[in-house]
Amino acid sequence: MSMFEITPSATSGATGTLDYYHSLTSQLTALTAGEADIIANLANISAVLFEHIDNINWIGFYIMKHGELVLGPFQGKVACVRIPVGQGVCGTAVATGAVQRVENVHDFAGHIACDAASESELVLPIKHQGKVVAVLDIDSPNQNRFSKLDQQGFELMLPLLESLNWHSIWKPHAE
Ligand code: SME
């Protein structure tokens, strides 16, 4: 059995620099290469990011199914299972198609508090064939945790995230 190991020493650059995010993205690409199962890949991606991003209390994916977001692989405390489009930070990311960087979640009208410890949040929509198929949600117990540079760093991961096998789980149509 081979163990894929990501260690801080194998990750170049200081935590939080673009170099660091570049290095994490390369390692996530290697980790998921050759594996078609998207749930396995999303689970491992959330595990790596939870371990190697400082000062976060929750990270994971919500996946669009039949017109609403449904909880996917994550690391952190038990979370809300379903989020309607347009509600909360995650639902706003889907409705607008834009990254949501919220310095203080208490100032965000409609923020959904899954973990009361969360103070700031970054949500990136993941698109496939022009539609939002999922979001990556990252929560921090610190206000102002995510800078523009952190946003750019996570955006480096989008080509990889968007290349995953979304067809196997994305349910675009209401039933
Ligand atoms: N706070 C999010 C809900 C998801 S949990 O934080 C994991 C929101 O407002 O969309």
Q: How far is the CA of 68 from the centre of ligand 1 (A)?
A: 14
* pLDDT, tens digit, 9 for 90 and up, residues 83-141: 999 999 999 999 999 999 999 999 999 999 988 899 999 999 999 988 999 999 999 99
Q: Minimal CA–CA distance to 21: which of 164, 143, 124?
A: 124
Residue nearest (by alpha carbon) to ligand 1 atom 2: 112
Chain centroid to Cα 132, Å, comes to 13
From 111, 132, 140, the mutation candidate for ligand 1 (largest count of ligand atoms within 8 A of CB) is 111
Does 72 score more than 60 pLDDT?
yes
Looking at residue 68, its pLDDT comes to 96
| Parent domain of 124 | 8-174
Closest CA to 170 of 123, 131, 115: 131
The DSSP symbol for 107 reads G
Q: With respect to residue 3, please indicate whether it lies within any of the assigned structural domains.
A: no
Which 3 state secondary structure label does DSSP give 78?
coil
State the CATH number of the domain containing residue 68: 3.30.450.40
Residue 19 lies in a domain: yes
* Rounded Cα–Cα distance for residues 137 and 20 (Å): 19
Say if 51 falls within a structural domain.
yes
- Give the alpha-carbon dihedral of 175, 126, 83, 54, to 10 degrees: 150
Residue 104 lies in a domain: yes
Report if residue 2 sits inside a domain.
Answer: no
- Which of 50, 115, 139, 145 to mutate for ligand 1's pocket (most ligand atoms within 8 Å of CB)? 139
Three-state DSSP class for residue 104: coil
Paired strand residues for 47: none
In a domain, 164, yes or no: yes
Centre of ligand 1 to C-alpha 10, Å, is 31
Lowest mean pLDDT among 9-23, 79-93, 152-166: 9-23
**Number of separate domains in the chain:** 1
Q: How many CB atoms lie within 10 A of CB 154?
A: 23
The pLDDT, as a whole number, for residue 115 is 86
